Amino acid sequence: MNEMELFQMFGKEGVTFLAIILVYVLFVRPKDMQMDKKDAQITELVETNRLIVAENSEQLGNISSTLEKISTEMTSLSENQKKLNDGQDELWKEIVYLKKER
């Protein structure tokens, strides 16, 4: 092998090596960076969703407690209304009885 063939062989290998480096720098590395950014965004979104779920759970707990109080009050009102109706019936019976006695 003479010097010219050796120089051509190193030149071809150099071009191949340079092409591999260019492909990596221009195509592979940017994709890796994009994937890292997407992973970071996904992690941030998951954490944000976790916080939202925690806040919503707390609010739903408060709403549930309020609805339970409302239910208790409605039951109490229903019982009082029934007592009032019974009292009205008794009152009307007394009024009718008193009118009959006159």
Q: How confident is the model over 26-56, as pLDDT tens digits?
A: 888 888 788 888 888 999 999 999 999 999 9
Q: What is the pTM of this model?
A: 0.48
**CA angle, 30 as apex, 26 and 34 as ends, to 5°?**
160
Q: What is the pLDDT of residue 1?
A: 62
Per-residue pLDDT reduced to its tens digit, 46-96? 999 999 999 999 899 999 999 999 999 999 999 999 999 988 988 898 888
| DSSP track, 4-53 | HHHHHHHHHHHHHHHHHHHHIIIIIHHHHHHHHHHHHHHHHHHHHHHHHH
The size of the chain, in residues, is 102
